[in-house]
Amino acid sequence: MRVDSLTLYAIYEALLERYGPQHWWPGESVFEVLVGAILTQNTAWNNVERAIGNLKTAGVLSAEAILDCPRDDLAALIRPAGYFNVKAGRLQNFCLFLIDSGGVKGMGHWPTPVLRERLLSVNGIGPETADDMVLYAFQRPVFVVDAYTRRLGKRLGILGGEETYAQLSAGFAAALPAETALFNEYHALIVRHAKEICTARKPRCAECCLRDTCAYPGPDFRP
DNA sequence: TACCAGGAGAAAA
DNA sequence: TTTTCTCATGGT
């Protein structure tokens, strides 16, 4: 898959001009970013914030505490984030992996491809969650692809819609300079755009809301 | 009331 | 191998 660099950069510039820097990822520590990446799977961030708040209040926002916490109790704490039973297991899987790997510091010594592969080996961590972690927690230049990225790319005519995650991530990364700050901001801006338009235009958007049901072709960011 | 949200894994076809 | 189903709360 090939994506035109100029087009991709023009989209980025347009989003940055419209919304400004997003200062991602929201979180007070690297561990909080890692936890947030799992909790936000198919879930609105507002609900994730509630869940993380519960973990903080209960003193369960560390790998050791999450592993020590009975599964049902952990599930109750993260209930606002939805899929709480599933995510409680995923959090504990990841925390076990994190401790076995020497923590964030130990994992920080791994080359990016190794880091990514090992994260993907953890049950409950798929491509997007792994890349969220690699980019936002470990500050490595990987391009995060989410549902918004796919929809926006399709709306703008730069994607066909059938590409695999790996094809999209590699295609975007190859078309842009490998800069962590750029990849950080780009993904954040796409999410911001989606939220902004969806919130502003409900119930019926006059501009591309990035939903599958939206028939509007979307704003033209092409150069 | 119905739809949607910063996915992933298991089961079924 | 590909498609479908399941997990679930909270906002609009």
Q: Lowest-confidence range among A39-48, A159-168, A202-211? A: A202-211
- Per-residue pLDDT at A196 exceeds 80: no
Q: Which of A106, A120, A88 is nearest to A132 (CA)?
A: A120
pLDDT at A202 over 50: no
Question: What b/e sequence results for A157-172 when a residue is b if at least 16 CB atoms lie within 10 Å of its CB, and e otherwise?
Answer: ebbeeebebeebbbbb
Protein-to-nucleotide distance from the CA of A124 to the C1' of B12, whole angstroms: 21
**Residue A204 — very low, low, confident or very high, per pLDDT cuts 50/70/90?**
very low
What are the structure tokens assigned to A114, written together?
Answer: 């190794």
Nucleotide nearest to A47 (CA to C1'): C10
**Closest nucleotide to the alpha carbon of A136, via C1':** B6
- The model's confidence at residue A162, banded by pLDDT at 50, 70 and 90, is confident
State the angle between helix axes of A30-39 and A45-57 in degrees (0 to 180), rounded to the nearest 10. Answer: 130
Q: Which bases of strand C have any atom within 7 Å of the beta carbon of a protein residue? A: 7-12
Per the CB < 8 A criterion, the answer to whether A135 and A144 are in contact is: yes
Q: How far is the CA of A177 from the C1' of C12 (A)?
A: 39
Beta-sheet strands, E only, within A77-163: none
Whether residue A185 contacts residue A15, with contact meaning beta carbons closer than 8 Å, is answered with no
Judged against a pLDDT cut of 70, whether residue A209 lies above it is answered with no
Asked if A130 and A88 count as a contact pair (C-beta separation under 8 A), the reply is no
pLDDT for A220? 54
Question: What distance in Å separates the CA atoms of residue A208 and residue A218, rounded to the nearest whole number?
Answer: 4
Q: So what's the pLDDT on residue A223?
A: 44
From the CA of A186, how many Å to the C1' of B4?
A: 23
CA of A80 to C1' of C10 (A): 7
Nucleotide closest to A87 measured between CA and C1': C7
> pTM (2 decimals)?
0.93
Measure, in angstroms, how far nucleotide C4 C1' is from residue A20 CA: 40
